[in-house]
Amino acid sequence: MKSTDQLKNEHEGIKIVFRVLRKMCESLQSNQTIDTGHFEGILEFFEIFVDKCHHGKEEDLLFPAMEQAGIPRQGPIEAMLSEHTTGRGHIKAIRRKFARFQSGDTAVSGALADECEQYILLMLDHIYKENNILYPMGEARFSRETDEKLYQDFDTLETERIGTGKHEAFHQMIDELTQIYLD
């Protein structure tokens, strides 16, 4: 398995969570109740897994390896970094609106759902560009040794950033949310 295959697999899990979040946002738009524990779990997934772990693998390991392989930072790498920053802004805004919602301000429901949708649209486009443009650029230039080292370093970073067993716990959460919202 290529190092980027690990990232693509993570993208698939992230896209499932987006589908669940969209279902929850439909409820918010209809002024129906949502399970705030599930919503909190999704936010934690975005903050810890998507940003600290997945984006960490890209920003700290993959992108520097791509630069070393001759891919200039200006261009696709810089665009992805900018989108990571924009995504973080959306998550902070979602977190603020969700705090208001939890404190009883149901008037924020529509704005919360809209902010979630903006984040989802940004990240779906981002994932498409990584899977179909950026990652293939790296795959074409990485030696087998570089790719194997990246794969190992991804595992190390994941353990350091989110701890042992947290990845599996997030997968369990995704499975549970899938059964509740998508089956």
Q: What percent of the chain has pLDDT over 90?
A: 97
CA angle 24, 26, 30 (to 5 degrees): 115
Residue type, position 72, single letter: P
Question: What mean pLDDT comes out for the span 1-8?
Answer: 96
Cα(70)–Cα(35) distance, integer angstroms? 47
Q: pLDDT tier at 1 (50, 70, 90 boundaries)?
A: confident
Q: What is the mean pLDDT of the chain?
A: 97
Q: pLDDT tier at 28 (50, 70, 90 boundaries)?
A: very high
Report the pLDDT value the prediction gives residue 183, as an integer from 0 to 100: 86
Residues 57 and 157 sit within 8 Å (Cβ to Cβ): yes
Which token pair is 70? Answer: 């001759």
Residues 119 and 84 sit within 8 Å (Cβ to Cβ): no
Predicted confidence (pLDDT) per residue in 48-99, tens digit? 999 999 999 999 999 999 999 999 999 999 999 999 999 999 999 999 999 9
Class of domain 3-181: mainly alpha
Is it the case that residue 159 has pLDDT exceeding 90?
yes
Report the pLDDT value the prediction gives residue 149, as an integer from 0 to 100: 98
Question: What mean pLDDT comes out for the span 114-126?
Answer: 99
One DSSP character per residue, 145-162 reads HHHHHHHHHHHHHHHHHH
Report the pLDDT value the prediction gives residue 16, as an integer from 0 to 100: 98
Alpha helix (H) residue ranges in the chain: 3-29, 36-44, 56-57, 63-68, 78-102, 109-129, 135-141, 144-162, 166-181
Q: Which residues contact 178 (CB under 8 A, 6 or more apart)?
A: 16, 20
Which position has the token pair 């790498």?
A: 77
